[in-house]
């Protein structure tokens, strides 16, 4: 299965000057639960923000300018190459904006954390045709900044 996983604000912000522009306790729990034991594909800038391969999963970085290596960490030059390298494992595309834009037409599912706040930033999650997906709200978490776990499943 090819999926993407993202958190974005009400105004679809996913980043600001190369970093995630919020710190919300527990918000990344779903990311860990879904991706552990699977394959995470991310762009160079997303990887540089994290700074290391993610534990207990294969990390594939898409970059044409840098090469990253480490335990369970690989670099390829395209999303297509990343999917081929992943083989039969479930793939979770985790940013950034250009990689999301390229992935939306091919993903079966989108796991979205919808943050219920307008946040300043310079990087947006791309628009997509919501009519091509079935939207399911899985869970709503109320904290100082509330958010919902939403799954978009592509219609057959």
CATH code of the domain containing 92: 3.40.430.10
The pLDDT tens digits for 28-52 are 889 999 999 999 999 999 999 888 8
> pLDDT tens across 90-102, in order?
999 999 999 999 9
- DSSP per residue, 40-67: EEEEHHHHHHH-SPPTTSEEEEE-SS--
pLDDT at 69 (0 to 100)? 84
Can you tell me the distance from the alpha carbon of 110 to that of 150, in angstroms, rounded to the nearest whole number? 8
How high is the pLDDT of residue 148? 96
Number of domains composing the chain: 1
* DSSP element (H, E) containing 32: helix 29-35
Q: Torsion over CA of 59, 47, 82 and 57, rounded to 10 degrees?
A: 10
pLDDT tens string 44-95: 999 998 888 899 999 999 999 999 988 899 999 999 999 999 999 999 999 9
Q: 61 is in which domain, residue-wise?
A: 2-154
């Amino acid at each position: 299965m090819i999926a993407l996983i993202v958190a974005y604000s009400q105004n679809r912000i996913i980043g600001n000057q190369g970093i995630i522009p919020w710190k919300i306790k527990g918000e990344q729990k779903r990311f860990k639960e879904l991706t552990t034991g699977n394959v995470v594909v991310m762009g160079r800038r997303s990887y540089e923000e994290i700074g290391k391969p993610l534990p207990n999963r294969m990390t594939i970085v898409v970059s044409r300018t840098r090469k990253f290596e480490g335990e369970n960490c690989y670099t390829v030059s395209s999303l297509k190459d990343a999917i081929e390298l992943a083989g039969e494992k479930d793939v979770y595309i985790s940013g950034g904006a250009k990689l999301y834009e390229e992935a939306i037409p091919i993903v079966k599912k989108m796991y979205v954390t919808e943050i219920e706040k307008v946040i300043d930033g310079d990087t947006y999650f791309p628009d997509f045709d919501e009519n091509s997906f079935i939207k399911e709200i899985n869970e709503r978490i109320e904290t100082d900044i509330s958010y919902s776990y939403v799954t978009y499943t592509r219609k057959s």
